């Protein structure tokens, strides 16, 4: 027995040694030997993301972390001017709409090459437009190709009825895109990373559109996970899932080459852990700094950069509730809320009180809408007139979340709750975890009986009024629960106007109309902020997150 046992033990040890030996033999260090690498200039920039990217193909994504990385690898025809929402040329140096607003001719930058060496030209532009239009299967699903679905409305087959018609490459430096109907926001929409230009050669080589393993089982192609190929200042080096994405400088970039040799995007999902990682020097910067963290970070010598707010935080009202169908009650609630106090007591520095459902930088903003400035007496009087002096409202807010437009919902909720109570409205709190319950409660049919008022908001994708009020009030929705035929029709008409010049006065009128109708209370435009280590220079915060890191330098 004893022999037997030690024999077996010996065998086990032998097996273990053999296994380790084999593994060691297979394990080759992939490091480039010292000295031979090109790390003479640069160093690195480590930025922390809240989650992994979904993939590296921005056309098939809609989440911020995918776009953050895509903006380093890819470029669109146009971009937002650094720090603003205005249009800036990028891969297209000029663009010209046709008289009927249906086709756009882009003049392309010369001498630009994709990182795989192929040329960027008119044909490449058209290849991208054709690629999107020809998607089938899972690629047509809104969670995969959200932006194409929502802006171009349809595809060649399957979900048809899109507004894209055709694309023609006039020459190597010219491409003309033709639409089936006029769309004033077309060029603005081209600033979105979802519409950035990708290398047709690489797309084909790595089978980029082969997302479908099977209908119910989406898997991204090796293009989207390993070989994204664009014209941007960085190229993908490696992706360690759950840990980090490492980007290398694109040595052949046509513009200002990146100052750092590597840019690393490290995934840290816990917001507090991001702050601490910055404080202990593991990362050089992160996004969405909590309002309470700003002062301690500043005091310790870190830099805080506010993004110009391009968002709206609002108090939604659900008109399934009879009391809220009375415009006087909705106006009373508007007067009962002291927006300045909401900003001061619950939002970060740099936030501003809101007057309407879009920030002032959006075209169509109207400075002269009905202003419900804080007036407790008026609120009480209106409630009395409406015979609603004993009003109880269920007030829904999300937990476990921090959105760019809503950094600390609990605080905002508490401030508004105590203000409403001062006006004599009883408040019954309804809390739900952001994902999945809260969104379900606010937006699905099953949630309409669970809440009367709620907190929500929106961050604009690009400078377009329809991207704000069209989203909120364009049709009857579970969220607001009202049927205002005139408003719906007016919004539709405004969207379909062929040019910005015609749209702007129309949207100004619409903003006034909405303010009088008071479907909810626009609360504030909270300023999202970024934090950086003291030695980080050259990062320009953008209201639409159009931040490219080629000018970033880090001194330690």
Partner 1 sequence: MLRFAVRRILLMVPVLFGLSVLLFAWLRALPGDPARALLGEKATPASIAQVNATYGFDQPLLQQYLTYTGRLLHGDFGSSPRTGEPVLGTFLDRFPATVELAVAAMIFAITVGIPVGYFAAKRAGGLLDTIAVSGSLLGVVVPVFVLAYLLKIVFAIGLPGQVFGFSLADLAFLPSSGRQDPRIDATHVTNFYVLDGLLTREWDAAWDALIHLILPAIALGSIPLAIIVRMTRASVIDVLNEDYVRTAAAKGLAPSLITRRHVLRNAMLPVVTVIGLQTGALLSGAVLTESVFAFNGIGSYLFDAISGLDFAVLQGFILFIALVYALVNLVVDLLYGVIDPRLRTK
Partner 2 sequence: MTALDPAQSARPASLSALMGDGMSDEQGTSLWRGAFERLSRNPAAIIGTLIVLAFVLVAIFAPLLAPYEPAKSQWIDQVTPSDVPGPSPGHPLGLDPFGSDLLTQLIYGARQSLIIGVVSTAIGLLGGALLGGVAGAFGGRVDTFVMRLVDIMLSIPSLLLAVSVAAVMGPRPGAIMIAIAAAQVPVFARLLRGSMLAQRGQDYVLASFSLGLRRRTVVMSHVVPNSLGPVIVQATLTLATAIIEVAALSYLGLGASDPAIAEWGRMLVKAQDRLQTDPQLMLLPGLCIAVTALGFTLFGEALREALDPKSRR
| Using rule CB under 8 A, residue 437 touches partner 2 | yes
| Using rule CB under 8 A, residue 244 touches partner 2 | no
Q: Smallest distance from the beta carbon of 272 to partner 1, in angstroms?
A: 7
SS3 of 398, please? strand
> Phi/psi of residue 208, each to 5°?
-60, -30
Q: Smallest distance from the beta carbon of 231 to partner 1, in angstroms?
A: 25
Q: Smallest distance from the beta carbon of 414 to partner 2, in angstroms?
A: 5
Q: Please, what is the Cα angle at 478 between 472 and 480, to 5 degrees?
A: 50
| Using rule CB under 8 A, residue 345 touches partner 2 | yes
Bridge partner residues of 303 (DSSP): 532
Q: Which of 399, 444, 499, 537 binds partner 2 (CB under 8 A)?
A: 399
Comparing CB distances to partner 2, the nearer of 358 and 379 is 379
Comparing CB distances to partner 2, the nearer of 201 and 478 is 478
Q: Smallest distance from the beta carbon of 274 to partner 1, in angstroms?
A: 8
Q: Smallest distance from the beta carbon of 309 to partner 2, in angstroms?
A: 15
Q: Which of 433, 489, 501, 535 binds partner 2 (CB under 8 A)?
A: 433
Stretch of residues binding partner 2 (CB under 8 A), selected from 13-21, 32-40, 403-411, 531-539: 403-411
Provide the CA 234 distance to its chain's centre, in angstroms. 21
Q: Smallest distance from the beta carbon of 92 to partner 1, in angstroms?
A: 27
Stretch of residues binding partner 2 (CB under 8 A), selected from 110-118, 254-262, 344-352, 511-519: 344-352
Stretch of residues binding partner 2 (CB under 8 A), selected from 11-19, 101-109, 312-320, 337-345: 337-345
In 134-256, alpha helices (H): 146-152, 186-189, 200-205, 222-225
Are 507 and 367 in contact, with CB atoms under 8 Å apart? no
Stretch of residues binding partner 2 (CB under 8 A), selected from 9-17, 184-192, 411-419, 529-537: 411-419
Short-list 218, 174, 176, CA closest to 57: 218
| Using rule CB under 8 A, residue 170 touches partner 2 | no
Sheet holding 164-171, edge to edge: 92-97, 103-108, 174-179, 164-171
Q: Which does 168 bind (CB under 5 to 8 A by kind): partner 1, partner 2, none?
A: none
Q: Smallest distance from the beta carbon of 348 to partner 2, in angstroms?
A: 6
| Using rule CB under 8 A, residue 272 touches partner 2 | yes
Q: Which does 211 bind (CB under 5 to 8 A by kind): partner 1, partner 2, none?
A: partner 1
Q: Which does 268 bind (CB under 5 to 8 A by kind): partner 1, partner 2, none?
A: partner 1
Comparing CB distances to partner 1, the nearer of 126 and 268 is 268
Sequence-distant (6+) residues with CB within 8 A of 376 are: 335, 336, 422, 423
Short-list 76, 112, 118, 107, CA closest to 171: 107
| Using rule CB under 8 A, residue 432 touches partner 2 | yes
Q: Smallest distance from the beta carbon of 440 to partner 2, in angstroms?
A: 11
User: Burial code of 2-14, b = ≥16 C-beta within 10 A, e = fewer?
Assistant: eeeeeeeeeeeee
Are 219 and 213 in contact, with CB atoms under 8 Å apart? yes
Q: Smallest distance from the beta carbon of 345 to partner 2, in angstroms?
A: 6
Site residues for partner 1 per CB under 8 A:
23-24, 26-31, 44, 46, 51-52, 54-55, 62, 138, 140-143, 146, 149-150, 159, 211, 213, 215-220, 224, 240-244, 246, 264, 266-270, 272-273, 276-277, 279-280, 282-283, 400, 433-437, 439-440, 443-444, 456, 458, 471, 478
Q: Smallest distance from the beta carbon of 296 to partner 2, in angstroms?
A: 4
What is the rounded distance in angstroms from the CA atom of residue 233 to the CA atom of residue 112?
12
CA separation, residue 471 to residues 133, 159, 476, 483, 486 (Å): 23, 21, 11, 15, 16
Q: Smallest distance from the beta carbon of 310 to partner 1, in angstroms?
A: 15
Comparing CB distances to partner 1, the nearer of 238 and 368 is 238
What is the rounded distance in angstroms from the CA atom of residue 107 to the CA atom of residue 77?
9
What is the rounded distance in angstroms from the CA atom of residue 138 to the CA atom of residue 55?
15
Are 194 and 147 in contact, with CB atoms under 8 Å apart? yes
Q: What residue has token string 């003049």?
A: 107
Q: Which of 293, 326, 356, 461 binds partner 2 (CB under 8 A)?
A: 293
Q: Which does 34 bind (CB under 5 to 8 A by kind): partner 1, partner 2, none?
A: none
Comparing CB distances to partner 2, the nearer of 133 and 286 is 286
Burial classification of residue 417, based on how many CB atoms lie within 10 Å of its CB (0-12 exposed, 13-18 middle, 19 or more buried): middle
| Using rule CB under 8 A, residue 434 touches partner 2 | yes
Which two structure tokens, joined as six digits, stand for 495?
């969207």
| Using rule CB under 8 A, residue 348 touches partner 2 | yes
Q: Which does 205 bind (CB under 5 to 8 A by kind): partner 2, partner 1, none?
A: none
CA separation, residue 200 to residues 115, 187, 203 (Å): 12, 22, 5
CA dihedral 442, 448, 453, 456 (to 10 degrees): 10
Q: Smallest distance from the beta carbon of 48 to partner 1, in angstroms?
A: 9
Provide the CA 402 distance to its chain's centre, in angstroms. 14
Comparing CB distances to partner 1, the nearer of 33 and 111 is 33
What would you report as the CA-atom Rg of the chain, rounded to the nearest whole angstrom? 27
| Using rule CB under 8 A, residue 444 touches partner 2 | no
Q: Which does 130 bind (CB under 5 to 8 A by kind): partner 1, partner 2, none?
A: none
- DSSP assignment letter at 110: T
CA separation, residue 304 to residues 218, 275, 295, 460, 551 (Å): 39, 12, 9, 22, 18
Q: Smallest distance from the beta carbon of 261 to partner 1, in angstroms?
A: 11
Under the rule (CB under 8 A), what is the footprint of partner 2? Answer: 272, 290-296, 341, 344-349, 397, 399-401, 408, 410-411, 413-415, 417-418, 429-434, 437
């Amino acid at each position: 027995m004893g022999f037997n046992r030690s024999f077996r033990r010996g065998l086990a040890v032998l097996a273990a040694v053999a296994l380790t030996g084999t593994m060691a033999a297979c394990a080759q260090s992939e490091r480039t030997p010292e000295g031979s690498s090109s790390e003479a200039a640069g160093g690195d920039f480590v930025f922390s993301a809240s989650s992994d990217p979904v993939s590296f193909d921005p056309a098939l994504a809609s989440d911020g972390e995918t776009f953050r990385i895509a903006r380093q690898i890819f470029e669109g025809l146009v971009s937002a001017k650094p720090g603003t929402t205005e249009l800036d040329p990028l891969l297209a140096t000029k663009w010209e709409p046709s008289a009927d607003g249906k086709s756009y001719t882009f003049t392309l930058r010369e001498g630009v090459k994709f990182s795989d060496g192929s040329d960027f030209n008119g044909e490449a532009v058209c290849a991208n437009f054709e690629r999107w239009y020809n998607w089938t299967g899972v690629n047509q699903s809104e969670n995969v190709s959200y932006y194409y679905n929502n802006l171009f409305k349809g595809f060649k087959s399957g979900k048809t009825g899109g507004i894209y018609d055709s694309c023609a490459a006039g020459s190597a430096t010219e491409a003309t895109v033709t639409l089936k109907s006029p769309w004033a926001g077309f060029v603005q929409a081209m600033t979105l990373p979802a519409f950035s230009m990708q290398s047709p050669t690489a797309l084909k080589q790595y089978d980029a559109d082969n997302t479908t393993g099977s209908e119910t089982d989406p898997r991204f192609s090796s293009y989207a996970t390993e070989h994204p190929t664009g014209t941007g200042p960085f190229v993908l080096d490696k992706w360690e899932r759950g840990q980090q994405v490492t980007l290398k400088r694109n040595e052949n970039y046509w513009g200002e080459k990146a100052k750092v040799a590597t840019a690393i995007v490290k995934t840290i999902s816990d917001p507090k852990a991001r702050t601490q990682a910055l404080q202990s020097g593991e990362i050089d910067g992160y996004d969405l700094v909590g309002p309470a963290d700003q002062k301690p970070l500043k005091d310790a010598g870190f830099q805080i950069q506010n993004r110009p707010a391009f968002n709206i935080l609002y108090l939604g009202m659900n008109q399934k509730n009879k009391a809220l169908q009375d415009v006087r009650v909705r106006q009373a609630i508007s007067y009962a809320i002291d927006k300045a106090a909401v900003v001061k007591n619950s939002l970060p520095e740099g936030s501003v009180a809101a007057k309407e459902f879009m920030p002032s930088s959006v075209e169509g903003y109207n400075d002269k809408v009905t202003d419900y400035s804080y007036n407790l007496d008026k609120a009480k009087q209106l409630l009395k007139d409406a015979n609603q002096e004993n009003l109880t409202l269920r007030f829904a807010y999300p937990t476990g979340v921090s959105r760019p437009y809503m950094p600390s919902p609990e605080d905002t909720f508490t401030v508004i709750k105590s203000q409403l109570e001062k006006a004599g409205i009883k408040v019954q709190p309804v809390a739900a975890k952001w994902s999945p319950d809260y969104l379900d409660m606010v937006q699905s049919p099953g949630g309409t009986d669970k809440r009367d008022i709620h907190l929500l908001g929106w961050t604009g994708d690009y400078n377009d009024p329809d991207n704000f009020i069209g989203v909120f009030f364009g049709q009857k929705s579970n969220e607001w629960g009202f049927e205002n035929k005139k408003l719906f029709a007016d919004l539709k008409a405004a969207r379909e106007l062929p040019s910005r010049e015609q749209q702007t006065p129309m949207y100004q009128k619409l903003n006034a109309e909405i303010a009088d109708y008071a479907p909810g209370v626009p609360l504030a435009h909270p300023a999202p902020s970024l934090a950086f280590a003291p030695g980080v220079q050259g990062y320009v915060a953008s209201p639409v997150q159009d931040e490219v890191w080629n000018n970033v330098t880090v001194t330690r």
